[in-house]
Amino acid sequence: MAASGEPGRQWQEKVAAAAVVVVGSCMTDLVSLTSRLPKTGETIHGHKFFIGFGGKGANQCVQAARLGAKTSMVCKVGKDSFGNDYIENLKQNDISTEFTYQTKDAATGTASIIVSNEGQNIIVIVAGANLLLNTEDLREAASAISRAKVMICQLEVTPAASLEALRIAHSSGVKTLFNPAPAIADLDPQFYTLSDVFCCNESEAEILTSLEVGSPSDAGKAALVLMERGCRVVIITLGAEGCVMLSQTEPVPKHIPTENVKAVDTTNEFSPPRMHALDGMKGLLTFGVSGEGAGDSFVGALAFYLAYYPNLSLEEMLKRSNFIAAVSVQAIGTQSSYPYKKDLPLDLF
């Protein structure tokens, strides 16, 4: 069942107004901070524990919403305390939950995370209810998807669910933004042809193309391979080095570097230490406890610009999205580190 709790005209109007619809995952992050990672079979003391909100789909939706986008989240959580808390989190971020479903058949997705003082981490993900989001749910949510300006999806739900979302959006003329994460080597060819914007990181590009991607030049070669599969726009993110773009109208790969960002306090939830440096995790801007966090900030920001500033050049959209993702790197946490519009320079809007 859907979890809005407010059926009828009020929710219909809110869904109709959603410019960015995200089909994807919700994960509850269970985070332990330690001086070092434990060895096999070892028990150690940690110095801090907190519960956060994650999942690539919800992360991207929250970032778009905090920039001012009207958003709707199509997802599935368990009928449990984590699921209830997650729905409340979405509502607090002014995200429509009309098509946020709850199920008794699986628990809300979780990520158990241990992070050392050096920023090394161990993560165990149990997708749970995320994998029960199905094509029937997507068809029920078609009223929201078909009225959006941009639809985002990823691969933390089943490929069948994401593919159905792409079909619905594509057939309605809605711009599609596909983030193939986690990457699947034998990805269905329809994912390429149904994606207006295909956005992946270095590691994902390597899996999808079997090419080594260690530099902007390498990323350009991988982008050309992906473009040949039917994508209209390909973006490969390069962590601290920004991203590489390629499109059918601009068929020569172009590197968009990340600008230096002055520290911005985006959260009061956690105390220092602040994370001012990028770690060495390949293919991603990383921060806090979650390697995918800054990449999701980038995707959410890009969706915002595609929906609300369609006349901007793609290059300018990417520069602004790079900047916003770099701001998110500075704070511990995932969604808790995502900046609001009020925290950002006026010239981004």
Residues 338/264, Cβ–Cβ less than 8 Å? no
CA distance 244 to 35: 36
Residue 84 marked ligand-binding? no
Residue 29 known to bind ligand: yes
Q: Which of 85, 265, 296, 343 is catalytic?
A: 296
Single-letter amino acid, residue 199: C
Instruction: Determine whether the annotation assigns residue 30 to a binding site.
Output: no
250 is in an annotated binding site: no
Per 3-state DSSP, the chain is made up of helix, strand and coil in percentages (nearest 5) of: 35, 20, 40
Kind and range of the H or E element at 244? strand 243-247
Q: Is 164 annotated as contributing to ligand binding?
A: no
111: helix, strand or coil: strand
Is 343 assigned a ligand-binding role in the annotation?
no
Check the annotation: does 201 bind a ligand: yes
55 assigned ligand-binding residue? yes
- Residues with Cβ within 8 Å of 253's Cβ and at least 6 positions away in sequence, in order, are 216, 219, 220, 221, 223, 224, 244, 245, 246
Does residue 296 have an active-site annotation? yes
What letter would DSSP give residue 287?
B
Q: According to the annotation, is 237 in a ligand binding site?
A: yes
Structure tokens at 39: 């060895």
Alpha-carbon distance 228 to 157, whole Å?
Answer: 26
| Residue 275 annotated in ligand binding | no
Alpha carbon distance 92, 251 (integer Å):
41
**What is the β-pairing status of strands 20-23 and 150-153?**
parallel
Determine whether the annotation assigns residue 129 to a binding site: no
Flag whether 56 is marked binding: yes
Token digits for 90?
């979405």
End-to-end CA distance of the chain: 37
Enumerate the active-site residues.
296
**Feature table: binding site for ATP:** 201, 237-242, 258, 295-296, 322
**Feature table: binding site for K(+):** 292, 328, 331, 333, 337
**Feature table: binding site:** 27-29, 55-59, 156, 201, 237-242, 258, 292, 295-296, 322, 328, 331, 333, 337
